Structure 1
Amino acid sequence: MKYWLLTTEYPPFFGGGISTYCSFTTRMLAANGHQVTVFVPDMSISKDVISESGNIRVIQFAANKTGMQAWLGYDALLSYEFAHTVGEYLKRESRPDIVEVQDYHGIGYYLLMYKHFGYEHFKDLTILTTIHATALLYMKVNKEAVYELPAYWMGEMEKFSILASDILIAPSKYITDQLAADFRLGDKEVTVVPNPIETSASLPDLSFERNNIVFFGKMVYMKGGFHLIEYFKTLWEEGFSHPLKIIGDADFVLHSEGILAKDYIQRKYKKYIRAGLLQLTGKLPFAEAQKHLAKAHVVIIPSLIDNFPYTVLETMQQGKIVLASKQGGQIEVIEDGKDGFLFDHVFPESFFDQLKKILALSDEEARSIGRNAYEKIRDRYNPARIYEHKIQVIDLFLQTTRTPNKTFPYIKHIPVKISPETLTAKSSTKGLLSVVIPYQQAGDHIQRAVESVINSSFKNVEILVVNGLSDTESFKTLQLLELRYPELRVLNSHDATISQMRNFGAAQSKGEFLAFLNADDSVASNYHEKAIRVLQQFDNVHFVGSWTALTGSKKGYKISVMPEAPYFLLHNTLNSTALVFKLSSFLSTGNDERMKNGMEDWECIVNMSAKGFTGVVLPEALFHQSIRKAKGARKASTNGALFLHTYITQKHQDFYSDHIADLMGILNANGSGLNLKNPTQDNFTGLFSSAFLNKLFIRARSFVAKNYYLKKIALKVIGAKR
C-alpha cells in the first residue's frame, strides 16, 4: 500500500504528541511493507528537502511556494500549501492508496475541498483524518477567545476537515464524545483505534525515590497544571511536606490573564517556590527529563481535557505509578487501583484521597502496580496489535463499493424550506448556461467580459446583455457584439437598477444554470466548467463562487470563504456578483429590487441560504474583477452601509435569530461586520494594509514563538490593541 501522511509535527523537526504518533505510525506501516511518505512543512526553506530510509520517505516541503502569504492567514495558508504540495507530487507520481491527515488546525481543509469539488488528481483520493487535538476544543478549555478572528475560522476549517473525510479515526471514545456537538460527529462513523507505542520487551527498572512527585506537561490550562498547583497549595497549607516538581515548558500565554504562564506562576506562588515546595525545571532535553522520570514515585497527569496522551503511555511503560484525571482518554487505558490511579476534577477530594493512597503503598505494592502498567502498554498498545486494527478499518473502506456522494458536507445543516414543486416553474434547456451581463455605460470594457465567456471551456452557453441607461456609443458597441457573436442577445431594460436588470435577465434565461457578470469584469477559462460540475454533482449546492483576482486600480486577491452561517450573516464572504446558480434556485428569491444602493447581491445569498439553498466557494482565483473608483457598495457612506445591514437583518430576522449566540460572540470579539474583511487573517487596521501586515506576521510568527522576551513584547502589543 502507498501511504501518505500529512502532519505539522514530525521528529526531529518538531516534538509533541502528534510528532510521537507520526513517528510510531510510519515505522509501524513501513515494518508491514507499506511505502510511506511524510509531508511536513517548513516556512524557512525555499526548496523541498527529501530524505529516505527504508520504506519511509520524508518530504520537508517549502510552505511558501504559492505566494499567498499576503492574502491568507497562517492556518489557512498552511492548509493551502499542503494541498498545493500534495498536488505537485500527485502530478508526477502514482496516486496513494491512503492520505492520512491530522485534524489539528484543519490542515486538510483545502485538500478536502479539492477532492469534493472533483479537481483533477484529487477527486479519487481516499482521505483518512485522525483526531489528535482539535484546537477549537482545547482553546475553549484554555480560556482563549474562540470567536476572535482568525481563530474562529481555524475552528471552521477543523470542523469541515472532520466532516468531509472518507475515514475518521480517533484514539479514544472520550474525545469523540467531547466533540460530538460542535463537530456533528453524530453524522459520521468514527472508529476508535488507539495510538501505537513501541515498548521494550524487557521489564524496566521498577525502583523509585519515595515521595518524588512529578508533573510532566506544558503549563496551559487544558493540561491541568494550574489546578494541580492549587491542590498542592491546599496540602502544603495543611502541613504536607513533599514538593511538586513541574517539568515542561511554561512560556505559554495565559490568554484570560494576558500574561505568560511562567510569570504568572512565579508571581502567584512565590512563597512555595522559595520554600522549595514548588519546583519549576522548565522544558528539559529528553535525556534530562528521563532522569527525572526514573526517580519518580508518582507521575501526575491532571488534564482538564485530553485525547490519548502519550505521557500516560510513556510513563506506564516505564513501570511508574500514574495518577491521572478522568477528564481524558486515559480513563480507557488505566484500570484504577490495578495499573494506575484515577481522580475526578469534579470532586477535588478524590485527588487528595488517591495521592495519599499511593504514597501509603509499600515499595512492593508500588512495584506491582508499575509492573502491571508496563505489561498493559506492552500487550495492548504495541504496533503489531494497533496495525491489525487500523488496517482492518482501511481495508473495509477500500473494499466497499460506494455510490457517488450527492450531499456536500456543510458544517451547519440548513434544511430546504421550499418544496421542489413550489419552485418557479420554468422550462429550461438542460446543461445550458445563461450568462447575464448588466450593462450601464461600460464602453469598451464589455468586449473583454464577453470574450472571456466565449473563450470558456464550457461551450453550451447563451449570453444575455441587459442594456440599461447606455449612451449612444455604448449602444453601438452592443450592436456590434450582437452581430459578431450568435450566442449573445441584447435585452433592453431602460431606467433599471442593477437588481432589476439581473432579475430581468434571469427571467429571460433559457438555461439550467445562471451566471452574472459585470460588464467590466471577466472569468477564467475554466470557471464555468468547474462551477457547473459542482452544481451537477451535489443536490444541496445551489450556487458556486470562487476567489477573485483584482485588476485595475488595485492589484491582488479577494479571498472568498464558504458562505455558511453565522459568519456570512455579518460580512459578505464572497464575491456575490460572480456566482453561478441553479437557475430555478435563484428564481425562488431573486435580487431584492428595493435595494437600489448596493448589497443586493449579498442579500440574495442570505435569502437563498435562509431557505436552505446553500452554496460553496472554489478555492482559486477564477474570477477577475476590475477595480475602479466608487464602484458599487464601495461608494456607500458608513451610514448607508449600516442602513443596508439593518434592512437585511430585519428582513431575515428569523434566520439571524437561529444563530444569535454565535453572532454575538463574533461581534464582541471582532467589532462591527462593516470592519470585517478576510476571516482567515487577523482583523488588522491602521496605517499599513492587512495584506502587508499578514505577510510580516507569518514571517515573524515562528521566531517570536521560540523567544520568551519577544512573547512578552507581543503580549503588550496585543493588550494595547485591545
Structure 2
Amino acid sequence: MAKKRLKVALIYPEPLPSQKARSVSFVYTAASLAKMDLDVDLFIEKSGTREEIEKIYNVDLSGVCINHIYRRMLCFKSNAIFNFFIKRKIVCYDILYLRHLKTAYAVIKNRKRRQNYKIIYECHELFSETVRSPKSKERLLNYEKFVLENADVVAFVNNTIANSCSKQFNIKNKHTVYNASRFDFDFMPKDFSEISSVYYIGSLYDWKGIGELVTAIYAINNRYDLKFHIIGGPEENLLKMKQDLIVNRLNKNIKLVSFKNFTEIKEILKRQKVFIIPNNPNYIENKFSLPIKLFEYLSSSSLVICSATPPIKEIVTHGYNGFLYDPREPESLIKVFEEIFAMSPEERQKIAFNAWKSSRTFDDRAKELYELFHNVVEKNA
C-alpha cells in the first residue's frame, strides 16, 4: 500500500544564508527531503532570498517552500518573537522538525490536544552542560527536560549524546540520525606515494583546538617536513594568528587562509590527500561534537586524522578508515604520522577507500528521516 504523502515543516529561527555548520545541515537536509515523496516547507527568520541561499550553499531548493518569519519588532530582536508568529503557521503539518531548544519548547508548550502534528527535536548538545552560570544552567536544564521528555521523537546526531541523555531524562522515543557530507563523490584513487600537506577546513573557535594543533606542529616539524593548511574564519581574524606564526617561526610550516566557498572546498577535497580534525579537550563542547567536516573528509577518499573523542570513535576506527590521536599529547599526533609514513602507498589507499565507504550523503540522511517520519505518524494513526 502506498504511503501517505506527508507535510513536513523544518523550523530554523535564524537567518539564512550563514557560515554556521548547523545552517548547512538544515539546508541540505531540507533539499534532500524535498526529493522524497514529501511536501517540505522551511521556516526561517526573515532574511535572504531563495536565490541567495541556493547560491551560497550551492544547493537546489526548488522543491522546498521557504517561509520567512519575523524575529524582530521595532528595535527588539528575539526568538520569542519568532516563536509567537510560528505557532500560527504550523497547524496543518504532519511533522515539525526542529533543532533549536527554546523554539522546540515553545512549540510543544503551545500544542493543543486536537493538533495531531508530530514534533521531532534534533538534539546535538546539552546546553545545560556548556554554561557556567548556575541560574542559566538550571533554566536550560528545565528546558531540556521538558523538550526531551515531551517531543514525539528525539533525533540524536550521535550515540554518545543519545546515551548521555537517556541516563538523565525519560525519553519516550529516540533515534540516532547522523549528519552527512554535502559532497557525493565517487571513489577517487589518489597518489599516496608522497605526503607533504595536511589540511584543516572549518571555524577557528577556541574549542575547535587550532591552538592545540599549532602546539603539536612545533614538535611534528622537528621530524617531518609537512605543510599545514588551516582554512577558515574571516581574514581580519587571521591577522593576529599570522603575526604569532611569524614570531614563532612557524609561518613556513603553516598557511592560514580565510573561508572558502562550496566550489573551492570541493576542489580542495578532490586534490588533497590528508585532512585533520583537532579539538581542545578543555571544552565541554567537544563531548558531543561530531562535525559535518568529518563526513566530508571521509567522502574525499583521503587519509583522515581525528581527535579520539567518543562521537568521532563511533565513525572512525584507527588504522581501518582513519587515524585517532589524543589532542592533549602532541606526541600522540607524531605517532600517527610515524604510522602513516611507515605504510606503503597501497596500504594508505586501502584506508582511504575504507574512509570513502564510511561516509554518507544528505540523501542517505533524508531516507532515514523519511522512514522515521512515517513510523511516528503511522504509529499514532
Q: TM-score, normalised by structure 1?
A: 0.45
Query: Equivalent residue for 1:27?
Result: 31
Relative to structure 1, is the Cα distance of residues 229 and 112 closer, same or farther in structure 2, using a 3 angstrom cutoff? same
8 A Cα contact 2:96 2:119, kept in partner: yes
What is the SS of the residue equivalent to 2:321?
coil
Report the counterpart of residue 317 of structure 1 in structure 2: 299
Residue 184 (structure 2) pairs with residue 192 (structure 1): no
RMSD, aligned CA: 3.6
Question: Amino acid of the residue matched to residue 102 of structure 1?
Answer: R
1:98 maps onto 2:95 in alignment: yes
1:87 equivalent in alignment to 2:106: no
Query: Whole-Å Cα distance in 1 between the matches of residues 164 and 246 of structure 2?
Result: 36
Question: Which residue identity does 1:351 align to in structure 2?
Answer: L
Task: Name the amino acid aligned to 1:161.
Answer: V
Paired residue type of 1:342? L
Is the Cα contact below 8 Å between 1:50 and 1:58 reproduced in 2?
no
Quote the Cα distance in structure 1 between the aligned partners of 2:95 and 2:291: 25
Q: CA deviation at 1:225?
A: 1.8
Instruction: Give the match for residue 302 of structure 1.
Output: 278
Assess, with a 3 A threshold, how the Cα gap between structure 1 residues 204 and 62 changes in structure 2: closer, same or farther: farther
In structure 1, C-alpha distance between the alignment counterparts of 2:227 and 2:234, rounded to whole Å: 18
Aligned residue runs from structure 1 range 553-632, under 5 A: none
Q: Match for 1:113: what amino acid?
A: K
1:293 CA drift (Å):
3.3
Cα deviation digits, residues 572-602 of structure 1 (max 9, x gap): xxxxxxxxxxxxxxxxxxxxxxxxxxxxxxx
Superposition pairs of residues 160-179 of structure 1, within 5 angstroms: 160-179=146-165
Q: Deviations over 1:588-624 (max 9, x none)?
A: xxxxxxxxxxxxxxxxxxxxxxxxxxxxxxxxxxxxx
Change (3 A) 1:216 1:150: same
CA–CA distance in structure 2, aligned partners of residues 188 and 220 of structure 1: 35
Change over 3 Å in CA distance of 1:54–1:163 after alignment to 2 = same
Q: Residue type matched to 2:338 in 1?
A: K
1:59 and 2:59 correspond? no
Q: Distance in 2 between matches of 1:185 and 1:329?
A: 20
Answering whether residue 355 of structure 2 is matched by residue 373 of structure 1, we say: yes
**Contact 1:10-1:23 within 8 A present in 2 as well:** no
Query: Among 213, 222, 233, which residue is 2:207 paired with?
Result: 222
Quick one: which of 222, 236, 260 aligns to 1:284? Answer: 260
Deviation string 1:337-376 (CA, Å, 9 cap, x unpaired) is: 1221122336654322112212343333322222222233
For each residue in 1:123-156, what CA deviation from the matched residue of structure 2 results, as whole angstroms up to 9, or x when unmatched?
Answer: 543210012345554xx3xxxx631887985675
Q: 1:398 is matched with which residue: 373, 377, 381?
A: 377
Which of 311, 324, 327 matches 1:329? Answer: 311
**What is the CA-CA distance between 1:308 and the residue it aligns to?**
2.8
Contact map agreement 1:243 1:279 (CA 8 A) in 2: yes
Structure 2: distance between partners of 1:384 and 1:136: 32
1:50 and 1:322 mapped to 2: Cα distance?
30
1:355 is matched with which residue? 337
List aligned pairs for 1:389-538, cutoff 5 A. 389-401=368-380
Aligned partner of 2:102: which letter? G
| Residues 308-343 of structure 1, C-alpha deviations (whole Å, 9 max, x = no match) | 311011111111111011215222222321221122
- How much does 1:222 deviate? 2.5
Q: Give the SS at the match of 2:72.
A: coil
1:195/1:349 Cα in 2 relative to 1: closer, same or farther (>3 Å)?
Answer: same
For residues 64 and 10 of structure 1, the distance between their equivalents in structure 2, rounded to whole angstroms, comes to: 12
Q: Does 1:212 align with 2:220?
A: no
Gaps of 5+ in 1: 252-259, 403-722
1:96 is matched by which residue type in structure 2? Y
Task: Determine if contact 1:216/1:246 at 8 Å carries over to the other structure.
Answer: yes
The Cα of 1:83 is off from its aligned counterpart by: 2.4
Question: Who wins on radius of gyration, i.e. which is larger?
Answer: 1
User: Is the contact between residue 327 and residue 345 of structure 1 (CA under 8 Å) also seen in structure 2?
Assistant: no
Give the C-alpha shift of residue 269 in structure 1: 4.2
What is the SS of the residue equivalent to 2:89?
helix
Which secondary structure does the structure 2 equivalent of 1:357 belong to? helix
Q: Secondary structure at the match of 2:22?
A: helix
CA contact (8 A) 1:344 1:351 kept: yes
TM-superposed deviation, 1:4: 0.1
Where 2:294 maps in the other structure, the secondary structure is helix
Letter matched to residue 245 of structure 1: H
1:132 is matched by which residue type in structure 2?
H
Q: How many residues align?
A: 362
- Match for 1:248 among 213, 228, 232? 232
In the superposition, relative to structure 1, how do residues 159 and 233 fare at CA in structure 2: closer, same or farther (>3 Å)? farther
> CA separation in 1, counterparts of 2:139 and 2:239?
30
Structure 1 stretch 387-396 or stretch 326-335: which is displaced more? 387-396
Using CA pairs under 8 Å that are at least 6 residues apart, name the structure with larger relative contact order, 1 or 2: 2
- Distance in 2 (CA, whole Å) between partners of 1:54 and 1:291 is 25
- 1:88 is aligned with what amino acid? R
In the other structure, the counterpart of 2:216 is 231
- Is the alpha carbon distance of 1:10 and 1:337 closer, same or farther for their aligned partners in structure 2, counting shifts above 3 Å? farther
Q: What letter is aligned with 2:110?
A: Y
- Kindly provide the amino acid, as one letter, of the partner of residue 188 in structure 2: P
| Partner residue in 1 for 2:12 | 7
Q: CA offset at residue 108 of structure 1? A: 2.1
Contact 2:122–2:156 at 8 Å: present in 1 too? yes
Do the aligned residues in 2 keep the contact of 1:193 with 1:386 (CA within 8 Å)?
A: yes
Q: What is the distance in 2 between the residues matched to 1:201 and 1:292?
A: 13
**Residue in 2 aligned with 1:587?**
none
- 1:195 alignment partner, SS class: coil
Q: Is the 8 A contact 1:344 1:350 kept in 2?
A: yes
Q: Can you list the C-alpha shifts for 1:532-583, whole angstroms capped at 9, x where unaligned? A: xxxxxxxxxxxxxxxxxxxxxxxxxxxxxxxxxxxxxxxxxxxxxxxxxxxx
* Overall identity of the aligned pairs, in %: 17
Q: Tell me the equivalent position of 2:269.
A: 293
- Residues 156 and 296 of structure 1: is their aligned pair in 2 closer, same or farther, counting only changes over 3 Å? farther
- Of the three residues 288, 308, 323, the one matched with 1:341 is 323
Q: Cα distance, 1:395 vs. partner?
A: 3.1
Verify the 8 A CA contact 1:33 1:55 in the aligned structure 2.
Answer: no
Residue ranges of structure 2 left out of the alignment (5+ in a row): 1-5, 55-59
- The one-letter code of the counterpart of 1:335 is T
Aligned letter for 1:223? K
Q: Determine if contact 1:198/1:383 at 8 Å carries over to the other structure.
A: yes
Change (3 A) 1:241 1:382: closer
